[in-house]
């Protein structure tokens, strides 16, 4: 990477990190602590509170992505972070679960993922795009790992409402990063011609990726409607869950770096992509079996390690592929649509996951997730990565 590419990748990854840390801090404690609020006796409402963020994200990712194509990426990022901070503070002072749902919905209105990834694509070459996207993915994964350690600790000190207040402060910190650390945009993006948006909407390769990101994040969030309880069932106290999550996340990063990038350089990106889908499908099958008996901490640790390995590979490759397949003039629109399906997947995972646990139990939840992964594997099978762009020297400036 050039110096500018490194600065852009690291600063944009930091914005993602600050934003996602706040979201992830509540993940290991939300389902348990939300029960203490008025209305918290309904698992389906808890699932809605967890997933409603994804619904509003899904409604606004496309408009925010299109706005970034027209008005500039950084301006849209600042507006989105301000909305996210406002929603965090609403949730921090919500006295009931219903008002907490409203705060989570306002958090989701800060739908800037498309603008961030589009700016990253604007400022990096194709030959280093997957590596740049992987840095964002690593930052998200590290925040997830850190949140699994800090979440229960912060919950015991400042409570769920305090965590939401901290989330708002982190979002304000992200605005400072946008203003002072992210490299300047090279002018407004090229205005898309009339009808160009159809290239983002109807491209078969992009449709496959959009379908996949919906399934991936629906499975990811729905799993956490059952995983914490399974760890407790295995004899691991809530405060010690990080001893399983942290090694699994950090170890998966090491294995991802040692497998994904060498395989991509050798032209085997499709193989790694399909293998990662297969790994997560296998994880759901394993959890289905474990949920019908008495799981052990060791078994759950191995299963979660494999999940994070596959998940991190897909988180690095999918947005990179979208940015390379979409025409530059509608890159923000294409990534907006991609992030819309990602957000809708989060909403579906929270809402459907809570309903499935309530109606058919954890084994029914994992069975549905396994079927979803098999369906994605079939849809993804015809995929072909874009032709590689010749590598340039480190001294060349990105286009």
What mean pLDDT comes out for the span 224-251? 85
> CA-to-CA distance for 68 and 322, rounded, in angstroms?
16
Residue 303 has pLDDT above 80, yes or no: yes
Residue 27 has pLDDT above 80, yes or no: no
Q: Could you tell me if 64 and 336 are in contact, meaning their C-beta atoms sit under 8 angstroms apart? A: yes
341-394 per-position pLDDT tens digit? 887 887 788 778 878 887 888 889 999 999 999 999 999 999 887 765 544 444
Residue 112 is classified by DSSP as -
All structural domains of the chain with their residue ranges: 3-183+200-380
Q: How many CB atoms lie within 10 A of CB 150?
A: 18
What mean pLDDT comes out for the span 116-137? 81
48-107 per-position pLDDT tens digit? 887 788 778 778 888 888 888 888 889 999 999 999 999 999 999 988 888 898 999 999
DSSP 65-109: HHHHHHH-HHHHHHHHHHHHHHHHHHHHT-SSHHHHHHHHHHHHT
**The two three-digit tokens of residue 368, written as one number:** 């549905």
308-342 per-position pLDDT tens digit? 999 988 988 888 788 788 777 777 778 888 878 88
Residue 396 has pLDDT above 50, yes or no: no
Residue 332 CA, chain-centre distance (Å), reads: 17
**The two three-digit tokens of residue 84, written as one number:** 């996210």
**The two three-digit tokens of residue 240, written as one number:** 């010690």
Q: Could you tell me if 147 and 29 are in contact, meaning their C-beta atoms sit under 8 angstroms apart? A: no
Residue 168 pLDDT: 94
Residue 143 pLDDT: 83
Does an H or E element contain 290, and which? helix 269-290
Residue 32 has pLDDT above 80, yes or no: no
Q: Could you tell me if 77 and 115 are in contact, meaning their C-beta atoms sit under 8 angstroms apart? A: yes
96-107 per-position pLDDT tens digit? 888 898 999 999
**The two three-digit tokens of residue 23, written as one number:** 């979201």
Tell me how far CA of residue 286 lies from CA of 21, 167, 384, 398, in angstroms.
28, 34, 29, 44
What mean pLDDT comes out for the span 147-170? 88
What mean pLDDT comes out for the span 111-120? 86
pLDDT-based confidence at residue 397 (cuts at 50, 70, 90): very low
Residue 270 has pLDDT above 70, yes or no: yes
Residue 392 pLDDT: 44
Q: Is the dihedral of CA 70, 74, 79, 84 positive or negative?
A: positive
> Quick one: CATH architecture of 3-183+200-380?
Up-down Bundle (1.20)
Percentage of the chain modeled with pLDDT above 90: 28
- Report phi then psi at 224, rounded to 5: -80, 5
Q: Could you tell me if 355 and 239 are in contact, meaning their C-beta atoms sit under 8 angstroms apart? A: no
Q: How many CB atoms lie within 10 A of CB 198?
A: 11
Mean pLDDT of the chain: 84
Higher pLDDT, 155 or 141: 155
Residue 395 pLDDT: 41
Residue 150 has pLDDT above 50, yes or no: yes
Residue 247 CA, chain-centre distance (Å), reads: 19
Q: Where are the beta strands (DSSP E) in 150-248?
A: none
Residue 3 pLDDT: 84
Residue 66 pLDDT: 83
> CA-to-CA distance for 364 and 288, rounded, in angstroms?
8
182-223 per-position pLDDT tens digit? 988 766 555 555 445 566 677 888 889 999 999 998 998 888
Q: Could you tell me if 216 and 314 are in contact, meaning their C-beta atoms sit under 8 angstroms apart? A: yes
């Amino acid at each position: 990477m050039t110096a500018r590419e490194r600065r852009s990748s690291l600063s944009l990854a930091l914005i993602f990190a600050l934003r996602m840390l706040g979201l992830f801090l509540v993940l290991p404690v939300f389902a348990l602590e939300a029960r203490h609020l008025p209305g918290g006796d309904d698992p389906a409402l808890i699932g809605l509170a967890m997933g409603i963020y994804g619904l509003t994200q899904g409604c606004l990712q496309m408009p925010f992505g299109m706005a970034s194509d027209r008005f500039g990426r950084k301006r849209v990022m600042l507006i989105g972070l301000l909305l996210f901070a406002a929603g965090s503070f609403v949730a921090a002072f919500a006295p009931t679960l219903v008002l907490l749902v409203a705060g989570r919905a306002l958090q989701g209105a800060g739908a800037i993922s498309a603008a961030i990834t589009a700016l990253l694509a604007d400022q990096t070459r194709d030959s280093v795009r997957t590596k740049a996207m992987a840095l964002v993915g690593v930052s998200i994964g590290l925040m997830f790992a850190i949140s699994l350690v800090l979440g229960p600790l912060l919950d015991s000190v400042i409570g769920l409402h305090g965590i939401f207040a901290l989330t708002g402060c982190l979002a304000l910190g992200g605005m400072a990063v946008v203003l002072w650390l992210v490299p300047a945009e090279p002018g407004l993006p090229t205005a898309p011609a009339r009808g160009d948006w159809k290239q983002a909407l109807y491209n078969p390769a992009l449709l496959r990726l959009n379908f996949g990101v919906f399934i991936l994040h629906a499975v990811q969030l729905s799993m956490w409607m059952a995983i914490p309880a399974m760890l407790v069932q295995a004899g691991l106290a809530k405060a010690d869950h990080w001893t399983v999550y942290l090694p699994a996340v950090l170890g998966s990063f090491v294995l991802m770096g040692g497998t994904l990038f060498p395989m991509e350089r050798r032209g085997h990106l499709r193989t790694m992509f399909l293998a990662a889908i297969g790994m997560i499908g296998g994880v759901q099958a394993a959890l289905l079996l474990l949920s019908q008996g008495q799981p052990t901490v060791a078994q759950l640790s191995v299963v979660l390690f494999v999940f994070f390995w596959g998940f991190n590979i897909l988180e690095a490759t999918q947005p990179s592929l979208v940015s390379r397949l979409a025409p530059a003039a509608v890159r923000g629109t294409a990534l907006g649509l991609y992030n819309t399906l990602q957000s809708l997947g989060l909403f579906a995972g929270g809402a459907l996951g809570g309903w499935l646990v309530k109606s058919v139990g954890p084994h029914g939840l994992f069975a549905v997730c396994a079927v979803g992964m098999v369906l994605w594997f079939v849809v993804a099978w015809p995929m072909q990565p874009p032709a590689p762009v010749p590598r340039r020297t480190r001294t060349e400036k990105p286009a």
